[in-house]
Amino acid sequence: MITRRGLLKAFGGLVAAGFATSAYAVGVEPVLRLGTTIYRIRPPGWPEGQKLRIVALADVHACDPWMSVGRIRAICEHANALGGDIIVLLGDYVSDMRAVWNHVPAHAWAGALSILKAPYGVHAVIGNHDWWKDGAAQAAGGGETFSHRALRDAGIAVYANRAARIETASGAFWLGGLEDQQALHPGRKWNRTQFAGLDDLPGTLAQVTDDAPVILIAHEPDIFPSVPARVSLTLCGHTHGGQVRLFGYAPVVPSRYGNRYVYGHIVEEGRHLCVSGGLGCSGLPVRFGSPPEIMVIELG
């Protein structure tokens, strides 16, 4: 028989558990945890014996206190220690959250990222929030954002629908980087009803002039169904792994494909995609079941 006292104790336990879970989701997982997720992949089109170790960082969303300059620098020091041949940054360096003490200026977060080092360089694409937070870029309907300039001033190569051939000790590959797929807000003359992208996948791949393998970096994974088999591997961020994930399922995902590309290593029709869980937060400073991570991909 359930007594009134028993019901009150059960209710109290649920309330306490709720407070504990909330405290963890706000105060522990977003700011104190950092994981390294490693994928070892041999995709079709990647030459046998050609080895490459990629370290990928996504969705920094710089702001105090959740992602301070000091924390970004510490993450970068850890990323350097992972021994990547190349480091890629997958977009969204700025924050849109209101629950912050301060928004970190671009020169400060870019300065922290400037300590990243790898034998074959540090390469970046821009994310949707980098575009959305730049009023001048929105008004112009293109061009470049202050994030483009800050990264370039920090010595980081920025890709906006560009491909570059990179020579390594075990063979060459092409790195293609797309401009953002949701760069422009609705309501402008060029974009009345929905977000407009500035990405150009065909134009980017047209710059590939030989049969060396291709790696594509893009902020949003929604591009993946359009990526041809010519691309050995696609790397993306944006989703934060759902930011809140319960038993492997994310109730809210910023993708028209829902959980299809929310996180991890996905293979479709022989094509390979890796989606990072990212580092920072968007909307609310909450992470649960999706801790911040650095993604490492070992090819070959």
Beta pairing partners, 294 = 36
Do 177 and 201 have their domain in common?
yes
127 contacts 219 by C-beta, under 8 angstroms: yes
Contacts 24+ apart (CB under 8 A), 30-34: 30/66, 30/280, 30/281, 30/285, 30/286, 30/287, 30/292, 31/65, 31/66, 31/71, 33/291, 33/292, 34/75, 34/78, 34/279, 34/291, 34/292, 34/293, 34/294
End-to-end alpha-carbon separation of the chain, Å?
A: 63
Report CA torsion sign: 81, 213, 203, 193: negative
Do 256 and 144 have their domain in common?
yes
- Find the domain containing 185 and state its range: 34-299
Do 244 and 292 have their domain in common?
yes
User: What is the layout of strands, in order, in the sheet containing 35-41?
Assistant: 35-41, 293-299, 52-57, 86-89, 122-124, 157-158
**CATH code of the domain containing 104:** 3.60.21.10
- DSSP letters of 132-168? HT-HHHHHHTSS--HHHHHHHHTT-EE-SSEEEEEEE
Do 51 and 79 have their domain in common?
yes
Domain count, the chain: 2
Do 51 and 189 have their domain in common?
yes
DSSP reduced 3-state for 14: helix
Do 135 and 152 have their domain in common?
yes
Do 189 and 142 have their domain in common?
yes
Do 22 and 38 have their domain in common?
no
Do 128 and 18 have their domain in common?
no
Do 11 and 43 have their domain in common?
no
Provide the residue-wise pLDDT of the chain in tens; the chain has 300 residues: 444 444 334 323 322 333 334 444 444 544 456 999 999 999 999 999 999 999 999 999 999 999 999 999 999 999 999 999 999 999 999 998 988 898 999 999 999 999 999 999 999 999 999 999 999 999 999 999 999 999 999 999 999 999 999 999 999 999 999 999 999 988 765 555 689 999 999 999 999 999 999 999 999 999 999 999 999 999 999 999 999 999 989 999 999 999 999 999 999 999 999 999 999 999 999 999 999 999 999 999
Do 89 and 26 have their domain in common?
no
DSSP reduced 3-state for 218: coil
The two structure tokens encoding residue 95:
């924050």
Do 158 and 75 have their domain in common?
yes
